[in-house]
Amino acid sequence: MSEITSDSAVLAALRQQMTLAAARQAVASSNLANLNTPGYKAREADFGSALEEKLGDSLHLTNARHLPGVEPAGPATHEAEGLAARRDGNNVQIDRELLSMTQAAGEFARAQTALAAKFRLVRYAINESR
């Protein structure tokens, strides 16, 4: 039974990693879309609140067979701090956003590769048992 728990924990961690990477890409693309919007302040994903929400989840199931509720799509965002603003008040930096998108794409790809390998192992186990 511990293998099932371990497998589900691995799958949950990979899903969480992919969700956070997608959220980082969405925030960076939103910032890039507002590159020329006067007064726009760059945003960044708030992973601290997502972690606190995950660790401090107060949802307790009354029965082990009950399904948990739907989790939020991703972390909240907050205004990025310490970025120099242009004369129009916008502080989006193209290089910073492109780097964030590239890093998030790498994180997503690594989690996707690990997930695909896990499913290949399951498929192998199913096919070998026949």
Say which range, 28-32, 51-55, 73-77, 89-93, has the weakest mean pLDDT: 51-55
**Token digits of residue 15:** 């899903």
User: Given a cut of 50, is residue 58 above it in pLDDT?
Assistant: no
| C-alpha separations of 52 from 15, 61, 111, 119 in Å | 17, 19, 22, 30
pTM comes to 0.71
pLDDT in the model for residue 1: 47
User: Given a cut of 90, is residue 74 above it in pLDDT?
Assistant: no
Q: Where are the domains of the chain?
A: 2-128
Strand residue runs (E) in 1-130: 43-46, 76-79
User: Given a cut of 50, is residue 70 above it in pLDDT?
Assistant: no
Q: Please tell me which residue, 12 or 75, carries the higher pLDDT value.
A: 12
